Structure 1
Amino acid sequence: DVRRESGLVAVRGAEETSLAVETATDLQRVDNVEFNRVSKLNVTDLVSAFRYLRSTFAFAVKAEAVQPQIDATVMQRLRVGAEELRLAAEVTYNVKKAGIFQLRAQVPVGWRIETVGVVDAALRARGNAFGLVNNWTEKTEAGRRVLEVPLRERTQGAVSLLVILAQTLKEAPKALAVPAVHPLGVDKLNGFVAVSTEAGLSVKTESFDGLSEIPAATMPTGTYRGMSEQPTLAFKFLSTEPSATATWRLGIAAEQLESWVRAEVVNLISVTETLVSGRALVRLDIANAPVKEFRLKIPLTVTNVDITGANIRRRDQTGEVWRVELQNKLRGQHTFMVTWEQARAAKTNAPVDVPAVEAVGVERETGSVAILAKPPLQVSEKSKSGELLTVDPRELPEWAAAYASGAKGEQVVLAWRYLRPGWKLAVTPQRFAEAAVLQALVDSARLTTVVSDDGQMMTEVSLSVRNNGRQFLEVELPPEGKVWSAFVNSQPVRPTKQANKLLLPLEQSAGDAAVPVEFTYTSQDRFPKRKGAFGLASPKFDVPLKNARWELLLPPDYEYTDFAGTMGRDLSGAPVVTVNYSATEYSRQEARNKELRDNESKAAFGNLKNLLSSGKLSEANNGWFNYNRRSVNPQGGQGDKDVDAEEFRQLKEVEVQLRRSQASNLVQAQQAYTLDNATKLGVNVDGYFNQAPAGKEGQAQAAQQGLLYDTDAAERQFEKLQKAQEVTVAIVQPLRVNLPLRGQRHAFTQVLQTEVNKPMTVEFAARNLKSGGWLKPIALTLGAFLVLWVLVAVFAERRRA
């Protein structure tokens, strides 16, 4: 019933569908914008729009699926080795029009696929490298080996494929056709081919087709950096037409280079009284091609031969030649150590022929020879060959200087240099007798003796001893002498006896400081009641004495004259006075002794801090132990002292600092031991001690590797060790005896008592002032007799009367 009909018709397709208009009768093409305006629709994916004026129009459309358009770039790297060929192919696809679900590539036959990886837009946005693919498959199509790699989703745009292949060889190939990894299903292909070699090989081009040679420096690096070494050969190619196989061909020839080895040998010979031992440091400089073995010539006269170094697999001996096989091929500079021993007759000055360690089969050998010895052994040159040139010991190579300091104080006494092997050397060791040196010295001695009227004596001896190796101080007391107390460094000790001598234990002097030694003894001798001579002898010491002072407190009712003996009377000091010993004097003496002990304690604490600041931890530890022992003794000078808060804080700071220093030393010793073992085993530990890995996982990993140690644990370990030492050491309770200072004070001095085990003596004459002598008794007797005679005469006269 409609007389006239007009309208619009449009066609749109799906995302992966391609539409083509085949028939459009009675239709007029219009713009897509016009269609959206009239229809009031906002359709953006219209293919075509038409207007019709009659309903009898004819319209036919052909629909077909959209085919992707793929361009690819291949970067292929081949590394030629003596035992393995390695091929890395990185294919970068650019997919247009439609997405793809898998990547296909032809791979060479006879090669082992080791790694397959893909990097897409998602991984590239996160900055990741290739993601490994494990679900790849391979199949054979028309005799060709095809690799298929599925993608996680339909992919359009840039996507890269990495294929790494390897092939094992028995020896380096002389001629080789470079294999190709060829991407399939691409419309346009271009790429690069690079060939590199491992050290010791060289390659050259024999033939190529479909390739253009380019400078090796212009070869792109790509995303994969596993084989990024500088190539020897580089080519590029371009293929505009799809092809089922690679359109290029490349043939190369490989050649094995000869190794060039230069050896530098430093022979360090240690000569002792009974043994000659050597350390030969062999430094190999390997160029051109790496080596997997080397040979050394070692004389048969030496024993206990050991060859150490990194990467050593085995050692074989054939006569004088030792063959050393390595785990891997080495190139560059590497150092190995040869140790040996050779016995020599003891206590003889017979010449010693120095064994020579030489490198066999090297292009050039130079080196040095150094003789190490320590006094009193003197080594002199007896004879040498013309290859040896005498040099200063400081001219030894810097890389070997660290090994030139031998054990137990050995030093380089003679050194030579040679420019070619085959040298001969003989030396003559001579031993001289050692001269005895002074091990201990009494800097000063102060003796105070109180003598009673009946001849009993009590003597207090204070010594200042500098010790440098003595364990005991031998003291021989006067006859019938008995020791009452003894103190060393303000610590009570129990003297031991050997024959008639006392042995007082000595401590090692820290920094040549004097150690105080105090002891008190009693003795007895006959003292004249009226008048007579009297002599005293000091204890005998087994060490020399520099300065001595002896104060005598003699009975007050006597006159003393005719002083003699080895000690001279000191008249320059205080005049002779009579001292009365009372309670006040005792209190004053106690206060003086307490003040002296307090000053000694402060000096010991200051010395302890100085030792800590100077890094002398062993001496500081001993000082701290002695300080603690002094503090727990109630009569040792600290028990009766009130410690204020500031002094207590300083004590705690010193204790914490000492514990940390000891813990740090323990950790450093453990790290040095681990580093030394790792170096001998060839383990690379560079930088492990400088910075620990971050996080608990990194610390745990480093701890498993044995390279990091816990400082806190070392501090706790040192604290437990200190407590164990305090428990095991028995504390001797001191008994300090104050002398009853009463009587006439006389002082005597003596300088230098160089003869050991010889006493110092004091002699004098004593006369009792209260006694009149022999005339007074006679006069009294005669007077008494005269009185009696008068009385008898008077009594008789009276009787007669």
Structure 2
Amino acid sequence: LLEHKTKEPQDVTVEIEFAKAITRSPGKNAVSFQVPQAPIARWTVHIDQPGIKMQITPILAATETASEKETTDASDDASVLLAFVGATPTVTLEWTPKAEGAAGLEALVSVETKTQTVMAEGVVRTRAEFDYTIRRAAVEKLDIAVPADQKVVSVFDPNIRQWSVQSPEKESDPQVLSVVLFDPATQTQHLTIELEKILDRQAEVTLPVLEARGVVRQQGIVVVGAEQGLRAEVVDRKGLLQIDTSELPASLKNGNWKFSYRYVALPVEAVFRLEKVQPLVHARSWATIDIGPTAYRFVGLTQYDVQRAGVFQLALEVPPEVPVNTLNIRGANVGGAPVQVDRVVRDPDNPNRVLVDLSRQAFGKVGLQYQYMVAFDPKRELSEIGRQLDLTPAISRPDDASVESNEGTIVIRAVGSLLCVPKQVENLRPISPQEAYQGLEGDRASLIVSGTDTVIQAFEWAQESPAITYTLERRKPQVEVRHLLTVAVEDRAIRYTDEFHFDVQYGGVESFRIDIPEALADEFRLTTRNFREERISPAPDDVEPGYQAWKFSGPQELLGSYTLTLTWTRELSNELDKARDVPVDVPRLVPRNVDQSWGQIVVLKAENIDVRDAPGAEGVRPIDPQHDLMDGRKFENAAGAFEFHGPWKLQLAATRYRVHPGKPTGIERGFVRVVVTRSDTMSVQAIYRLRSVQQRLAVELPEGAVLDAEQRLNGNRFHPETTIEETASPESADESSEAVSPDAEEAAASAEQSPDGVGRRRYYVPLVGTEPGEPVVLELRYTLPGDGSELPLPTFPTDPDVQPEAPAVQKIYLGVYLPEETCLFSHNGTWTEEFTWSRLGWNLRAVPGMSD
């Protein structure tokens, strides 16, 4: 015991030396002893062996590296543990001792292997990974037995100094791979070895097995794969247990392996039969043949579905009359990737076959486009009308020997000038043109060479080679013309515009012929671009007297729709001023060499001119210019229109009228609603729809009228200016004018005396914010004393400064509402009844009529 005799704090150092027996167990040593209790105790534990793992309990914190001061007396071959222990009566120390007694023994080595073998066409490649586990002693060199027919390509690991291969003394013995390490391996060592074997058309392949020399145990996993286009089958297998790919290590699961095995000991053996897989190709084709007068063009699209194995060559059936240098073959997007074409050659063994070599392997769905043009013999060209020709077009498609299934469709098209009659059809089934393009996921427009060609027929074929023969004949062109003649009568001139709409079908023409009156030969102008006019000389025999034959040519042969526009003008001078009726000639321009001709005449006029047809018209009938004109044409100021379908004759008469100024204000419609109340007061609402060019509108209300607070113009509130006209004394006039605005005083100075001599209030409605001539809606609301026996209404008087002329009034409606106890006996005034009497029991009731 240690006694503390004073009361002052004191540092005391106590050294205790004791011995305690060690409890030994397999792989672990332990010792426990009692210690003085303290809140925190620091322990430094020394064991005279390096690298010892120690554990002390109970523990607050520990580290295997002590401070420099505490380890100055410790040697490098000792293990030191610094620990902090809490308040406890017993401390337990545990550690794992180093193995003793292995000095001088040989290394104990085991190995795990992962072998990957891939069989390709003409070569077998192997990659083997060796994971060594080493015990008891270090290893400086590793030896591995490699089959004699395998070539060691590479051996790699960061700890490899060098490697060499020792050839076998006997052919039956394996070659030995020796690997020298930089640092001796004491625990683990990894090696990766790559092998390669060239196959000389061998049908069977033996699995290469690598054997680690000097090991007590070798086990591992073997995976075997075959590249695309090859199929492998197991012929013999020994010592290998087949496993599922899900049981493979993570590093091997992503591979495309045909077989996977596990072995636990050598020897093992496996033999595989290697066969080349033939590709399975399905072909679906779409083709179009466009026949012209001098040649025909073939365009084909084929979608190949390549399965099992890829291909580097495609074969097409192309007749010998199509030269290879005229073939245009390229990849196409037909529901798959376009193929990469390298070159095109004709098969020397088969003149009907063309080989297409690809620069990249084709697998899956790929597309190919091929087209060519075949010209006719110049002696057989269909350049003359009525000439015939038998044509058997060359149809190209995938070669039957290169595909498993072969089917497709073909569409025959021809220009409109050719009549195509099928003469012989072989191995083709007729279908609709819509069915011919079904399933075509790519660009359908690539099949259509000319958008003006007409579809003649569509067929479907399968497997057997199709063939078709047509009899071609050049058809006569058909020309139809519609012409629209516009006659615009103005004050000083008459302007003519004649539009000829030609539609040429079944063949082209060189020019259009139009016979024009001699009087217009020097006056008309051609306004259509890219056309030129020329007088035909000498004149044809069918020209009518007084006419000249003209031809109009385009930049090329005319086929399709064209529009020619001719214009000319006739001056009137003062003819409309001198005579009441001025004759207006309508000249007839005659298109020739056409199969059908008809037209329309539209008469336009100025606002102050009246135009009508004169007697003696022939071959024309009147039509509605608003609804019956060709192509839905619309013309403003159209006075009339005529239609003709043959020879015609027409003359018009024009008359000009003097222009009289209209009233500046016009009231189109009005509605005045008067509600008679029981208190002898009338509530009036007056609504007017009017047009005016004035800036202000003068309105007079009956005597006693009191405006409501709300007056509206086009739905917007406004405050009218006002003045009073009455025969009262000057004093009363002064009193009433006190409430009038200064602007109203100026207007009141110019106001007129009301005709009845009774005071009426005049208002001025401002129209400054409205457009002149546009419809305006004016709404006035006011109350008026009275029992309804008299109904005075608003008036629009003349005003020298504001309204020099009273407005024109078209129609005003008046609606009167009487109390229920009031009975209407009669009414008078310049009004038209807009109601009917209806009997309801014993009572009569006025029912309003329909309003516009």
TM-score bracket for the superposition, by shorter chain length: 0.3 to 0.5
Pick 1 or 2: higher relative contact order, CA cutoff 8 A, min separation 6.
Answer: 1
How high is the TM-score relative to the length of structure 2? 0.45
How high is the TM-score relative to the length of structure 1? 0.48
Larger Rg: 2
